[in-house]
Structure 1
């Protein structure tokens, strides 16, 4: 599909900012949402006509719905909706506050669900389009001290897998993007850490990962965003796209282990059925 107009949440940094930059430089129109405009002054100055910057906190459900409706009213057609706003939260379950739990669910999970739900009637009315949901290979692979981040990403992936089956009949495609570690502010700036407890010190290896002085992530956000943008032209839409060699190897390892465990349950699973004929 030829995509000319994109709606992207969370363009102030990371993948969102890089995607917006590449698209604008390619002559596309970008409706980008931010919580503060100070970090996108470069895009505003360089592309005053093509960059439609909107203030939005995706935890505000009525505001998400109004922003989507207003974007379509102003631009007439939006070809691609990129659900990108989100952040990482590190800490073991017992270390997390109730506020931290509620906030990450509202941002990463509920915010993404409401964005997609709000966009669907517009995409359906215009005869189709594409949704890109930014996830992570942590939507398939879980590590200690990442429980709530995984909860939101496993959750949004399940939501998307169901929705894509509902909307395929309307020519709406959806891709779940699962990047590995990348050199973005997500890891080196915006990640949040709970109030850590000495009892869980053995699970705090992520502190080294968050310190650029201990070595940088292998993922190149420029190349990753190029692949994401290219995927919009692919028909049919790929359901998943894993970015990063380590992300793929870990996903394959866990998937193989999971499959072997399921296959070993064949007799157990069958033992709970009614006998044949009853």
Structure 2
């Protein structure tokens, strides 16, 4: 049975790959992107099965208009994929106020407003699936990515709460957490102006690893897109899906350590309860 998908950030990376794969198998895709022309080849090949709109996630009014138009013109949309975003690279002290504001406006506020714009339509049609593309960085951290992590940890908390709110309406949610994957993510990083005082710190080590290519990138973009589509197709997908061996290992290690720390605090935690 064919589906209709709404996907943001389709000009490159996982968004583009998902769009290609879904169209090739016969589905319809409402694809959004910031710059026109990136999907002209697919539009020429697939015609009306590809609906394209320009969208800047920092413009809330535009998000609502585009989502409303997609549902109006296409009818039922089965899957909303919040995929668009980018990475901001630099130690927290190195980042400018404008870089921080843009990162939060795009990755966090943009994703929140996209989901909010889709919910009335999904409720009206009595069901649908929301897919939030996060990353392993929604549960673990690297130096130099503090603001990126803030947006990914933030959107995961938002989606986890929303999932409980909208389950009665037949709407379910999936958070996808890829590890480092060979896409255009690295080339799209917004870099802060580096400060020499961080050269001999973990932030400096990560900076040098990225610059030299020593930072391990094991994920295959095409296989990651295939796994995402397969998960969405499943009748009951996992709520969180770690993709890639790096994501699996790093998230498992982080959760194990956090659980150990909580268990060590049991006595003092209970001591904070009322006694009467």
What is the root-mean-square deviation of aligned Cα atoms in Å?
1.4
How far apart are 1:209 and its partner, in Å?
4.7
Gap runs ≥5 in structure 2? none
8 Å Cα contact 1:183/1:216 also seen in 2: no
In structure 2, the residue matched to 1:239 is 239
SS at match of 1:204: helix
Give the counterpart of 1:192 among 190, 193, 196: 190
| Aligned 1:7-26 pairs, distance under 5 A | 7-26=6-25
Measured against aligned partners, the alpha-carbon deviations of 1:150-194 in whole angstroms (never above 9, x if no partner) come to 00000000000000011111111110000001110012x211111
Q: Which residue of 1 aligns with 2:160?
A: 161
* 3-state SS of paired residue (1:175): strand
Residues 1:250 and 2:250 are matched in the alignment: yes
How much does 1:101 deviate?
Answer: 0.4
CA distance in 1, matches of 2:20, 2:109: 26
Q: Is the 8 A contact 2:143 2:206 kept in 1?
A: no
Answer yes or no: is the 8 Å Cα contact 1:242–1:248 preserved in 2: yes
Distance 1:215 1:206, change over 3 A: closer
Q: Secondary structure at the match of 1:152?
A: helix
Aligned residue for 1:93?
Answer: 92
Q: 1:257 to 1:213 in 2, by over 3 A?
A: closer
Q: CA shift at 1:213, angstroms?
A: 4.8
Q: Which moved more, 1:109-118 or 1:197-206?
A: 197-206
**Aligned 1:53-92 pairs, distance under 5 A:** 53-92=52-91
- Residue matched to 2:179: 180
Give the Cα–Cα distance (whole angstroms) in 2 for the partners of residues 75 and 113 of structure 1: 22
Distance 2:119 2:93 in 1: 37
CA distance in 2, matches of 1:191, 1:98: 16
Q: Which range moves more in the overlay, 233-242 or 212-221?
A: 212-221
Mean Cα deviation higher: 133-142 or 231-240: 231-240
Deviates more, 1:62-71 or 1:235-244: 235-244
State whether structure 2 residue 124 is matched by structure 1 residue 107.
no
Aligned to 1:42: 41
Q: TM-score, normalised by structure 1?
A: 0.95
Q: Is the 8 A contact 2:2 2:26 kept in 1?
A: no
**Preserved contact between residue 8 and residue 83 of structure 2 (Cα < 8 Å):** yes
TM-superposition CA deviations, 1:31-70 (whole Å, max 9, x none): 1111112322222222222111100101000000111111
Cα drift, residue 139 of structure 1: 0.3
- Tell me the SS of whatever aligns to 1:47: helix
Whether the aligned pair in 1 keeps the contact of 2:12 and 2:184 (CA below 8 Å) is yes
* Unmatched 5+ stretches in structure 1: none
Structure 1 residues 196 and 230: CA distance shift in structure 2, 3 A? same
Query: SS of 1:130's equivalent?
Result: strand
Structure 2 CA distance for partners of 1:18 and 1:210, relative to 1, 3 Å: farther
2:216, 2:251 → 1: CA distance?
A: 21
For these two proteins, the number of residue pairs brought into alignment is 274
What is the CA distance between 1:270 and its match in structure 2?
Answer: 1.3
SS at match of 2:132: strand
